[in-house]
Amino acid sequence: MIPFIDLKAQYREVKEEVNAAIQGVLDTCQFTLGSEVLAFEQEFADYCSAKHGVGVNTGTSALHLALLAAGVGPGDEVITVPFTFVATISAIDYTGATPVLIDIDPVTFTMDAKALEAAITERTKAIIPVHLYGQSADMDPILEIAKRYGLTVIEDACQAHGAEYKGRRAGSMGHMACFSFYPGKNLGAYGEGGMVVTDDPEFARTIRMLRDWGAEKKYHHVLKGYNFRMEGIQGAVLRVKLRRLEAWTEARRTAAAHYDRLFAGSGVMTPKAMSYARHVYHIYAIRTDHRQAWQEALLAQGIQTGIHYPTPVHLLPAFAELGYRAGQFPHSEQAARQVLSLPMFPELTQGQCEEVVSAIKNLAEGSAEIGERIAAQSGHATQPQAQEVK
Ligand SMILES: *Cc1c(COP(=O)(O)O)cnc(C)c1O
């Protein structure tokens, strides 16, 4: 059995330190915010090459508060991509602003900067590039356009702890950047967590207030705020785990290198790490037109996979109100049909990578045969669809 992710293996490695850290919070009773959260905020901001960190309860809250701090509200527009986790769009929706979607680049799965300028209107306030799967969006053209139009850039770095773009850390490029510490993320809490990092002291100050009922000091509420505080136990756990994040990231990159090498020449479409990027492989997604058949066959052989994400946000029932149609974002829609996420976690061994790749190569050879047979039957060369393979 090769799991998609193995949180237990990681817990075994840090168990003693984490248990002691949790015990420390219990002893001091600093259950919400407190000294562990304060220390973690600074350590994680340093890790991102940013000046300030504000810990919150989830990555979604981080996005929500970053948008509010940027002054985004009803009547405004925020540009992002449909090929992301739904939370990116939900956070925009919470502010009352309208999400405006543009397509992704088909190679990197991140925002196509060439589509950005045409989407800007007088109402546009902010842009949220998503560093999907652990690879930074192509930030230079995005930042250049944002500067020209006076727009705020908020990085959705929820999948990109430690990722780099031309030597710059995710979290240090936009006006603000948002991270998630959901347990399955590259740096995962033992519960929920999130953070906004920024170089701007005013944004940091505003978000600090917004996460704690808009209070400047106790009971003096100067803004309409929220209860989005980070828990003391999560701060303590995350401090312990942050010390290992670089080693875990290198282990993910090593596993990805095994996959790349083993797939080389097989014709299987593997993810492309751009020369500008330090890809941190939150997800290692291959692409196939036979996804459902492959996923089922792999599971039957004890190999768990995932799909991130099967439906682009513009086609989700929850966001039908945005009025987009199928066909509007072809690269996002094709990615959503084809991507298949392979097992990826720091403890994944070379042997396990070999097992996964050999199973997929066998499937790829089988699919090619079926594809040729269908082409021969119909008298012309077609790409077989997943349904036809089943
Ligand atoms: C996980 C994730 C979020 C939301 O983070 P939570 O901590 O689950 O609220 C937002 N955007 C992206 C791209 C994510 O992967």
Q: What is the phi-psi region of residue 134: left when phi exceeds 0, alpha when psi lies from -120 to 50, beta otherwise? A: left
194 lines ligand 1 (CB under 6 A): yes
Distance between Cα 89 and ligand 1 center (Å): 10
pLDDT single digits (tens) 162-182: 999 999 999 999 999 999 999
Only one residue has tokens 């979607």, namely: 101
Domain boundaries, the chain: 7-102+112-242, 245-378
Token pair of 82, please? 């449909």
Question: Is the pLDDT reported for residue 194 higher than 90?
Answer: yes
Only one residue has tokens 């995962």, namely: 188
CB-based burial, 337-373: b 16+ in 10 Å, e otherwise: bbbbbbbbbbbbeeebbebbbebbeebbeebeeebee
pLDDT single digits (tens) 259-275: 999 999 999 999 999 99
Residue whose Cα lies nearest atom 14 of ligand 1: it is: 158
- The CATH number, out of the four listed (3.30.2350.10, 3.90.1150.10, 3.30.70.20, 3.30.470.20), of the domain defined by the range 245-378: 3.90.1150.10
Q: How far apart are CA 374 and CA 389, in angstroms?
A: 10
Question: Is the pLDDT reported for residue 48 higher than 50?
Answer: yes
186 lines ligand 1 (CB under 6 A): no
Lowest pLDDT segment from 102-111, 114-123, 289-298, 368-377: 368-377
Model confidence at 368, in pLDDT bands (50, 70, 90)? confident
Q: Is 238 buried (19+), middle (13-18) or exposed (0-12) by CB count in 10 A?
A: buried
Model confidence at 373, in pLDDT bands (50, 70, 90)? low
Model confidence at 388, in pLDDT bands (50, 70, 90)? very low
The pLDDT, as a whole number, for residue 367 is: 81
pLDDT single digits (tens) 1-44: 999 999 999 999 999 999 999 999 999 999 999 999 999 999 99
- Mean model confidence pLDDT for the chain: 95
Q: Maximum CA pair distance of the chain?
A: 76
Among 80, 84, 159, 176, say which to mutate for ligand 1: greatest number of ligand atoms within 8 Å of CB: 159
Question: Class assignment of domain 7-102+112-242?
Answer: alpha beta
The DSSP 8-state label assigned to residue 383 in this structure reads P
Between 277 and 368, the more confident residue is 277
Q: Which residues contact 51 (CB under 8 A, 6 or more apart)?
A: 45, 198, 199, 201, 204
Residue whose Cα lies nearest atom 7 of ligand 1: it is: 59
Per-position DSSP letters for 42-108, written without gaps between them: HHHHHHTT-SEEEEES-HHHHHHHHHHHTT--TT-EEEE-SSS-THHHHHHHHTTPEEEE-PBPTTT
Percentage of the chain modeled with pLDDT above 70: 94
88 lines ligand 1 (CB under 6 A): yes
Q: Average pLDDT of 327-345?
A: 98
Q: Which atom of ligand 1 is nearest to the CA of 61?
A: 9
Q: Which atom of ligand 1 is nearest to the CA of 192?
A: 7
The pLDDT, as a whole number, for residue 389 is: 34
Q: Which residues pair with 80 in a beta bridge?
A: 101
Token pair of 59, please? 């990555």
Among candidates 98, 128, 101, which has minimal Cα distance to 115?
Answer: 101
Model pTM? 0.94
The pLDDT, as a whole number, for residue 381 is: 42
Model confidence at 384, in pLDDT bands (50, 70, 90)? very low
80 lines ligand 1 (CB under 6 A): no
